[in-house]
Structure 1
Amino acid sequence: MTTSHSNRLLRHARPQILARDEAASAAPVADLGTLPDWDLTDLYPAPDAPELQADLDTLSAACTQFAKDYEGRLATLDGPKMLDCIERYQQIDVLAGRIMSYAGLRYYQNTTDAGRAKFMGDLQDRITDDTTKLVFFSLEFNRIPDDRYAEVFAQDGGPARYKPVFDRMRAMRPYQLSDELERFLHDNSVVGAAAWNRLFDETTAGLTFDVGGDTLGIEATLNLMTDHDRARREAASQALAETFGKNIKLFARITNTLAKEKAVEDKWRKMPTPQTARHLSNHVEPEVVEALRAAVTAAYPRLSHRYYRLKAKWLGLDKLQVWDRNAPLPTETPRTIAWPEAQATVLDAYAGFSPKLAELAQPFFDKGWIDAGVKPGKAPGAFAHPTVTTVHPYVLLNYLGKPRDVMTLAHELGHGVHQRLAAAQGELLASTPLTLAETASVFGEMLTFRALLAKTTEPAQRKALIAGKVEDMINTVIRQIAFYDFECKLHAARAQGELTPDDINALWMSVQGESLGDAFEFMPGYETFWTYIPHFIHSPFYVYAYAFGDGLVNALYAAYEDGLPDFQQKYFAMLSAGGSQHHKELLAPFGLDASDPAFWDKGLSMIEKLIDELEAMEA
């Protein structure tokens, strides 16, 4: 279907933002050591490099020739000729991906730089124009009769290894529009969602917050939400609320427009629910997502509600305010972790699992594959961007030296390692559905946490470490399912008419008390905090992938701790599979099945055990 086709060729312009909402931090801090910058020359030497112009020319010619050779003929191709066709299409994908990866990564280094924004926008326009010639490919492919499709993919010398890609594409057949409409949507994409996404990104990056007389950017202000000084945390929260409130009409307009645009396209495609497109792209059944959601919401009382009551007691408070949610414990000693120590911590933890894992992560530090420092206009949060399978991934961080920043490093390196291993599948098969894309990242965090815990014997430090991990898991599981519920409510409400800022605020608050529990009071202004979360804008319903990944990893880690034979070998095989297998096939060697509701309870029980340990420390 064309929107997925278009998004695949242009996805590199907008890297997946993979950090959780409060996990990253960013404000200039001394004594961090030398923080690495990206070296993008592995993609192109410079924006005006002749290599880039040559690839643009090659891409344009390749699209024209591909359409000339194959349009109207796909159903007539035998197995070997279909393989040639698919591999030519894959090479076009690599070319477009390389170009847009370079433009996108330069842009995210400084989203407020008009020249970088124009460079990316111009390239996106040009590639959209060139790849319009390819819109026929998925449309025509999906019209191949089932018996002919099965025959061609079964022939000797045919494209059998690519069948998972096209099985997923053909699952979209019921929602495919006419060729003319699909071409229109493809051409219109650069002035539709992509344009609103850029407006959101540039607006968010340009926001300023007055915290006690200091003018800070969004990441620096969010970082203060984990400050030891409660007054600073409160001041940051109030500053966030004030600025979000001043910009609430713009954020509501962006949200209304994108939700309506999605609803219109879903209506034309006859999608049964707003969530259907995400489930299809994730190659996950709706009932599996609902089993996850039901398990997590049922666990709110025994996980987040229970934990935050404990935290209120530790902080000596009758009620927690929003600025206490991610506060460090009073017994936790403030500590800045320099970059060399963070690198050693994560690599040692990875090596403790397998030397191969550390070897795969090492080049990120040595070869300019990480951009870690805080810079004006730099994209907030953190992500790992795969670029294309013929190059390598890049990791973006906003590193401040807090323990959570070390965990974010472990998380994003997990993505990077996963992307490196999956690259051997080739461009079409390497891409992993979002539900599985979080596996290696969350597993990397778990390895790092367990390695640190094993070395920590002092009770107060151990308590702080476990509490930090519980909070990360609550942010990853509880918060993200609450976010998913917010999105479900928002899209259902938007179907009834335009939403005022107060309408959206009310939907946001309806999930906050339910998920966080009775330990909290919510300050005036907190109702606007939905405004800065990029997933709602860039990737509707993305957020449940975090909870899926955390539950999956908890179950995987339990199997690892139980001594499942050949676990490391099975783990690397799973990551190397990329998107070539369904989650049932990938989890079967571990004796796990995500369609079993008990699977999710097994993952949630790991969080519960950590809270049990914290409660036992109080006895």
Structure 2
Amino acid sequence: MSEKMPAWDLNDLYPGMDSPELKKDIAAVSAGALKFETRYKGKLAESSPDEFGNSIEEYEKLDETLSRLYAYSYLLHSTNLNDPKISTFYQNIREKSNDVSNKMLFFELELNTMSEEQVQEKMVSPKAKNYEPWIKNVRAARDHMLSEDLEKMLHEKYVVGAAAWNRLFEETMASLRFNIGGKMVTEPEATNIISFSPDAKTRHEAGAEVDRVMKKNMPIFSLITNTLAKDKQIEDEWRGYKRPVSARNIENQVEDEVVDALVDTVVANHPDVSHRFYKMKADWLGVDKLEYWDRNAPIPGLPEKQYSWEDAKNIVLSAYNEFSPEMAKIGKKFFDNNWIDVAPKEGKMGGAYAHPTVPSAHPYLMLNFMGKADDVMALAHELGHGVHQYLARSQGILKSHTPITLAETASIFGEMVTFQYMLKHEKDPKQRFALLAEKTGSMLNSTVRQIAFHRFETKVHTERREQGEVAPERLDKIWTEVQSDALGPAVKNDERSSSSWATIPHLIRTPFYVYGYAFGDCLVNSLYSVHQEGKVEDFPKKYLEMLSKGGSERHQQMLKPFGLDASKPDFWQKGMNVIKGFVDQLEVLTDELGMNKNKAKQADNKQAAPVQSGMVKKVTGLKSR
């Protein structure tokens, strides 16, 4: 796209890699951590309530400085992966942060060795009481903490262990080039062609090229995956986690049983939701079966809308404003102050993300905007994160962190209000059909597809633990099996797309993160239904209040004002019923608008059949004579 799009301004964090401000913070946090260790190590349990509160406050200030340094280096690196100087700076900051945080490691360890009675005695101090939600979150994993020496060893090793393998993955992906139509493109650009090119031949060429390049590099992706899975296994076994997903569930403040119920519900809905949708998609495209690469393809006969950056910005802000002027006001700050990096470029990380940075600054958003409807939704999604992170700053850095189960609620809710706004203001019946089809496909990507990712990594990690290293061919086979189960018989899943798992960064960077998208999507479906029913007074105000709580409450307390409870067995089915309702609507509209190309072909064949039959009889009669 030739349109000029904003690049973020990181000066609110630091003026530059060599700036005096950055060097001053490195020196200050290094000295501060040493003083903190000297002052409090071995003394936490015996400290007075006020001293206990002061110690947490000092810990938080050090953590904020460390987080500012890391956030700056990460943001800079993620948009310049091919720059050796920036990569070196990023690695140096990680190592320095690791050294400093190692001196502070004792604090959470001592906090976890205190008895519940000792902790409660400290809560008489208002300052300590303020941090009670954070203390509970830290102590949730106390049964899985190791000795201080082991914790220090794992902490020090991380930067040359899992973190190094993650960096290798990111820089390898950024360096790959794909030859599509004689043009060398990056992975995000190739993915965009696969998803949005109106030409089936181009999509299939792009899909084949991505598969070829990924398979060519499969030894390195397989090695990264197996090494990280083994690394996680070792740590999980030392910590006493029984299942690969358990550590993530504790971090997400959600019970294993709740996640299991979510997964089981989504899988049970495959036949009635995703399988039906992709059968319809095949009918829209006029094929018996969809190629794997055609899952997100534009619908033939519907002119695809192209959105300028200004269009996308105005749509999302208008949608936010219609729901809550306050939410739109916060969202506007990201555009007015260059807190967002939009355009794709060589060496930039693929996908999109929102980074909270630190409460004393503000969040930043990264996109790879290509002008499609999906990119408008990506903006709505990440801005939802941004608004959430901005509001949660008031909690301070220790209490502002929100587990994915609620973090993705804000982002997906942002998508939902934007979708409803676009649907409301679109008058063309076929464009409304296109919007509904796009949204339904997106919701399936957030639920069915993400749970398929979750099932893939569960199988891979389990097999790695039980049988040893998982061969590349086996990784491909597991992927094909779970995708076939999720997408159904109307989608071709075979060796031509079996390497796609290696393009999913979350499977490498953040194991067992992906189920949070399905958690958030189903939760938002229920939450938005409550909003539409109008049974909750001041819903927008209560919604923003929920976001402002950050990680200070668990999902049970957060959802109580809306009459929702994720621990109830039927909760997840309610969320899936919303998607099923969209599929039902699409089936009706498909007939009303004549969108079924396969049905049209059959009708044409029936009309032609009598003529064909008569010709055959006539020829046969001549021959017999």
What amino acid is aligned across from residue 571 of structure 1 in structure 2?
Answer: Y
CA distance in 2, matches of 1:157, 1:41: 35
Task: Say if 1:209 and 1:243, in contact at 8 Å, map to a contact too.
Answer: yes
CA distance in 2, matches of 1:309, 1:275: 32
Alignment of 1:606-617 (within 5 A): 606-617=578-589
Q: Which moved more, 1:482-491 or 1:329-338?
A: 329-338
Task: Say if 2:480 and 2:494, in contact at 8 Å, map to a contact too.
Answer: no
Q: Which residue of 2 aligns with 1:213?
A: 182
Return the match for 1:197 from 150, 155, 166: 166
Partner of 2:184: helix, strand, or coil?
Answer: strand
CA distance in 2, matches of 1:413, 1:548: 19
What amino acid is aligned across from residue 589 of structure 1 in structure 2?
Answer: P
Deviation >3 Å, runs of 4+: none
Task: Say if 1:132 and 1:183, in contact at 8 Å, map to a contact too.
Answer: yes
CA distance in 2, matches of 1:246, 1:156: 60
Task: Say if 2:408 and 2:516, in contact at 8 Å, map to a contact too.
Answer: yes
The structure, 1 or 2, with the larger RCO (C-alpha pairs under 8 Å, 6+ apart) is: 1
**Deviations 1:64-115 (CA, angstroms, capped at 9, x unpaired):** 0000100000001122111110000000010001111111111011111111
CA distance in 1, matches of 2:237, 2:199: 50
What amino acid is aligned across from residue 131 of structure 1 in structure 2?
Answer: S
Shift, 1:525, TM fit: 2.6
Q: Which residue of 1 aligns with 2:314?
A: 344
What amino acid is aligned across from residue 558 of structure 1 in structure 2?
Answer: S
Q: Which residue of 2 aligns with 1:584?
A: 556
Q: Which residue of 2 aligns with 1:509?
A: 480
Q: Which residue of 2 aligns with 1:600?
A: 572
Partner of 1:67: helix, strand, or coil?
Answer: helix
Return the match for 1:572 from 541, 544, 547: 544
Shift, 1:523, TM fit: 4.5
Task: Say if 2:399 and 2:550, in contact at 8 Å, map to a contact too.
Answer: yes
Shift, 1:270, TM fit: 1.2
Return the match for 1:60 from 30, 44, 60: 30
Task: Say if 1:165 and 1:428, in contact at 8 Å, map to a contact too.
Answer: yes
Q: Which residue of 2 aligns with 1:181?
A: 150
Alignment of 1:26-175 (within 5 A): 29-30=1-2, 33-153=3-123, 155-175=124-144
CA distance in 2, matches of 1:156, 1:386: 29
Shift, 1:158, TM fit: 4.1
Task: Say if 2:359 and 2:393, in contact at 8 Å, map to a contact too.
Answer: yes
1:437 aligns with 2:407: yes
CA distance in 1, matches of 2:32, 2:301: 62
Q: Which has the larger radius of gyration?
A: 2
CA distance in 2, matches of 1:269, 1:504: 27
What amino acid is aligned across from residue 97 of structure 2 in structure 1?
Answer: I
CA distance in 1, matches of 2:172, 2:206: 19
**Deviations 1:206-245 (CA, angstroms, capped at 9, x unpaired):** 1111112211110110001121011110010000010001
CA distance in 2, matches of 1:132, 1:247: 36
How many residues align structurally? 588
Task: Say if 1:440 and 1:575, in contact at 8 Å, map to a contact too.
Answer: yes
Q: Which residue of 1 aligns with 2:505?
A: 534
Task: Say if 2:53 and 2:125, in contact at 8 Å, map to a contact too.
Answer: no
Q: Which moved more, 1:522-531 or 1:100-109?
A: 522-531
User: Which sections of structure 2, spanning at least 5 residues, go unmatched?
Assistant: 592-625
CA distance in 2, matches of 1:236, 1:53: 46
Return the match for 1:522 from 481, 493, 505: 493
Partner of 2:354: helix, strand, or coil?
Answer: strand
CA distance in 1, matches of 2:579, 2:252: 25
Task: Say if 1:59 and 1:95, in contact at 8 Å, map to a contact too.
Answer: yes
1:483 aligns with 2:483: no
What amino acid is aligned across from residue 489 of structure 2 in structure 1?
Answer: D
CA distance in 1, matches of 2:179, 2:396: 48
Q: Which moved more, 1:408-417 or 1:206-215?
A: 206-215
CA distance in 1, matches of 2:431, 2:321: 24
Return the match for 1:388 from 358, 363, 369: 358
Q: Which residue of 1 aligns with 2:608?
A: none
Alignment of 1:551-570 (within 5 A): 551-563=522-534, 564-570=536-542
Return the match for 1:320 from 285, 290, 296: 290
What amino acid is aligned across from residue 139 of structure 2 in structure 1?
Answer: R
User: Which sections of structure 1, spanning at least 5 residues, go unmatched?
Assistant: 1-28
Q: Give the aligned CA root-mean-square deviation in angstroms.
A: 0.9
Alignment of 1:344-383 (within 5 A): 344-383=314-353
Partner of 1:37: helix, strand, or coil?
Answer: coil
CA distance in 1, matches of 2:144, 2:541: 39
Partner of 1:301: helix, strand, or coil?
Answer: coil
Task: Say if 1:295 and 1:597, in contact at 8 Å, map to a contact too.
Answer: no
Normalized against structure 1, the TM-score is what? Answer: 0.94
Task: Say if 1:221 and 1:236, in contact at 8 Å, map to a contact too.
Answer: yes
Shift, 1:510, TM fit: 1.3
Shift, 1:403, TM fit: 0.7
Task: Say if 1:431 and 1:578, in contact at 8 Å, map to a contact too.
Answer: yes
CA distance in 1, matches of 2:482, 2:97: 40
What amino acid is aligned across from residue 586 of structure 1 in structure 2?
Answer: M
CA distance in 2, matches of 1:514, 1:351: 40
